Structure 1
Amino acid sequence: MIDPFGRAITYLRLSVTDRCDLRCTYCMPQRMTFLPKKELLTLEELDRLSAAFIRRGIRKLRLTGGEPLVRRDIMWLVERLSRFLGTGELDELTLTTNGTRLAHHAADLARLGVRRINVSLDSLEPETYARITRGGTLAETVRGIDAALDAGIEVKINTVALREDNLEQAVGLAEWAHSRGAGITFIEVMPMGSVEADRLDQFVPLTEVRRRLEERWTLTDTTLRTGGPARYARTDQGGTIGFITPLSHNFCGSCNRIRVTCTGQLFMCLGQTADADLRTPLRAWADDAPLEAAIAAAIERKPKGHDFAIRRSAPPAVERHMSVTGG
């Protein structure tokens, strides 16, 4: 799949649910309204949809949410999708998780061919973690991370930089991740969906985070790429630190990604509203030709990039929450 700007689309982020067992302050309001379960694609439909994308050239597939591991029988889908690793049609099957249920699933994920996962972790202070997540238990997520590492899964910590909540912890978070043999990526807060906080108060440009890290280490930029928007540096002690900068440094020029929601909406760009309905052709025809035609037509409409910006008291750049689109 080649978009109008000559970019090969090889990476699908597939949401399996909009639900999450946490309520992170930068992600969603405390009283979040989730979709009726009847609107979600079934696991069988998600499998069929994934197969269609893989036939079209997707080589990396990331399961997202919400929190993907809260979806009932999610391991059935992981097992089904793992067949594409065995045939060589898929290079990587992975997921992004908050880690709360990872301890229970880590061994099975490793057995089914998941070699690398991203785990969201924004603080190592139990009280701060509970405040950011609105009730999460830090020890539970740490247990999940350790279980994944023990199962032989490579872990990358994802940390959203928040000025009042964890900016002072950036070095400590990186040291903690590296001490466990994990990498870490810092992410600028994204203006998606309304939350109680003003995101301008939360926002930290990652140039500021990097300055703090460089007080601890010498950082050398690398050519490492893992299929997503992160740009990586290596410390003089061998640890890897990534930076995702949707606001301070647009990364759209090399975009190879698309996102599908748990209801079958294909979003060609995280920061735009244009979408394509895949649920209708998925359900209306047993033949996949109409579905693949809808995918092809959508790729022809993929925009050049997003228009993210944060302004004081302004509405979010995109009204849908990240948990709806898929993280």
Structure 2
Amino acid sequence: MNTLQDRFGRSIDYLRLSVTDRCDLRCSYCIPKGFKDFEEPEYWLTFEEITRVVAAFVRLGTRRVRLTGGEPLLRRNLPQLAASLAALPGLQDLSLSTNATQLARHAESLHAAGVNRVNVSLDSLRRECVNSITGHDSLPQVMAGLQAAKAAGLSPIKINMVAMKGVNEADIETMVGFCIEHGFILRLIEAMPMGDTGRNTSYLDLQPVLEQLRQRFDLLPQSLELGGGPARYWRSTDGAFTLGVITPISQHFCATCNRVRLSVDGTLYMCLGQEERFALRPLLRAGISDAGLEMAIREAIELKPERHEFREKPGKLIRIMSMTGG
């Protein structure tokens, strides 16, 4: 089997695929208020172009693809793309990250198309807090989306909660109870300093939070294979609760990074915290062959840096998360 390996010996088997840079929310740690500088659709990769790129990655050993955005469910006919990707020989896991505002309408068709599981961004169960963070009174739609995803058989469902000091840190235990009740996995995420929005977010070190939860819920570390991403997992001794912790700042995971990101405009980003990138769209539209595309991807992977510099150089990046791909 072909494998993609970078110059530091890491196997790259996970592609995060942005299908749109648009979002219907304006989360305080992601998109600046008033931001309108989104790509126009003519610059977006078509479904056919996306499928060609993903097929090349799969031939090179990629086994996991996550559909992201922006908000991926704003891309029209997304289940059609999902079905094309799910049919690729060798692809083992197709998942979706979403804010769930549109999920109630799409959960069944996504599952039928071959999406295995979903990660839902939800930072609080308090309606006023969600409104403050996202800029919209979106909690009712999110809760409806979660119910629809559960009913459709999408599993596991993970709740991604960006923990922010003085904003929602007091909501963490309530979120734990909610996830225990519904059988969801909770993932706590440290805010990353991407662009002014990320740098202005009230950073919360998750190490002491993890220690408190470990004692409160009798959590033990787990070596779980729950998607191939950067989370470290813990599980309660009674098996009722699984916690994931993503700590790009307090305890980075660069040595085991196995992923790259493809933005909606066809740019490969090698690292969230560095500027290395490789433009595939011009090659695709110039008629590159499948073999040439595979060579271009290998060339791109050689650019992947050893690690990010969020702590050392927090002002380095000016792009925002929705443009890179979640």
For the criterion TM > 0.5, the same-fold answer is yes
Alignment of structure 1 residues 197-212 onto 2, 5 Å: 198-199=200-201, 202-212=202-212
Please give the secondary structure, in 2, of the residue aligned with 1:69. helix
Select between 123-132 and 218-227 the one with higher mean Cα deviation.
Answer: 218-227
Please state if 1:319 is matched with 2:323.
Answer: no
- Give the drift of 1:235: 1.7
Please state if 1:130 is matched with 2:131.
Answer: yes
Please give the secondary structure, in 2, of the residue aligned with 1:171. helix
Partner residue in 2 for 1:222: 222
In structure 2, the gaps of 5 or more residues are none
| Cα deviation digits, residues 281-308 of structure 1 (max 9, x gap) | 1110152222221111111221111111
Match of 2:300 among 298, 301, 305: 298
Partner residue in 1 for 2:92: 91
In structure 1, the gaps of 5 or more residues are none
Partner residue in 1 for 2:278: 276
Partner residue in 2 for 1:63: 67
CA contact 2:82–2:114 (8 Å) conserved in 1? no
Partner residue in 2 for 1:164: 166
Question: Structure 2: how far apart are the matches of 1:3 and 1:223?
Answer: 24
| Cα deviation digits, residues 147-166 of structure 1 (max 9, x gap) | 11111111000000011211
**Change over 3 Å in CA distance of 1:146–1:310 after alignment to 2:** farther
CA contact 2:29–2:200 (8 Å) conserved in 1? no
Partner residue in 2 for 1:147: 148
Please give the secondary structure, in 2, of the residue aligned with 1:233. strand
Partner residue in 1 for 2:176: 174
CA contact 1:186–1:244 (8 Å) conserved in 2? yes
**Percentage identity across aligned positions?**
46
Paired amino acid for 1:323: S
Select between 205-214 and 118-127 the one with higher mean Cα deviation.
Answer: 205-214
CA contact 2:267–2:279 (8 Å) conserved in 1? yes
Paired amino acid for 2:126: E
Taking structure 1 as the reference length, what is the TM-score of the superposition? 0.94
Question: Structure 2: how far apart are the matches of 1:189 and 1:295?
Answer: 29
Please give the secondary structure, in 2, of the residue aligned with 1:164. coil
- Give the drift of 1:208: 2.7
Alignment of structure 1 residues 37-116 onto 2, 5 Å: 37-84=41-88, 87=89, 89-116=90-117
Question: Structure 2: how far apart are the matches of 1:276 and 1:197?
Answer: 25
Question: Structure 1: how far apart are the matches of 2:5 and 2:214?
Answer: 38
Paired amino acid for 2:315: P
| Cα deviation digits, residues 211-257 of structure 1 (max 9, x gap) | 33235311111111320000000123321000000000010111110
Please give the secondary structure, in 2, of the residue aligned with 1:194. helix
Select between 141-150 and 33-42 the one with higher mean Cα deviation.
Answer: 33-42
Please give the secondary structure, in 2, of the residue aligned with 1:285. coil
Please give the secondary structure, in 1, of the residue aligned with 2:195. coil
Question: Structure 2: how far apart are the matches of 1:316 and 1:137?
Answer: 31
Question: Structure 2: how far apart are the matches of 1:317 and 1:248?
Answer: 18
Question: Structure 2: how far apart are the matches of 1:221 and 1:13?
Answer: 26
Question: Structure 2: how far apart are the matches of 1:62 and 1:187?
Answer: 18
Q: How many pairs align?
A: 319
CA contact 2:162–2:189 (8 Å) conserved in 1? yes
CA contact 1:170–1:209 (8 Å) conserved in 2? no
* Cα RMSD (Å): 1.6
- Give the drift of 1:51: 1.1
CA contact 1:247–1:309 (8 Å) conserved in 2? yes
Please state if 1:29 is matched with 2:35.
Answer: no
- Give the drift of 1:309: 2.0
- Give the drift of 1:45: 1.2
- Give the drift of 1:133: 0.5
Q: Which segments of structure 1 move beyond 4 Å, counting only runs of 4 or more?
A: none
Match of 1:18 among 17, 21, 42: 21
Select between 282-291 and 243-252 the one with higher mean Cα deviation.
Answer: 282-291
Please give the secondary structure, in 1, of the residue aligned with 2:160. strand
Taking structure 2 as the reference length, what is the TM-score of the superposition? 0.94
- Give the drift of 1:185: 0.4
Please state if 1:285 is matched with 2:287.
Answer: yes
Partner residue in 2 for 1:9: 12
- Give the drift of 1:2: 0.8
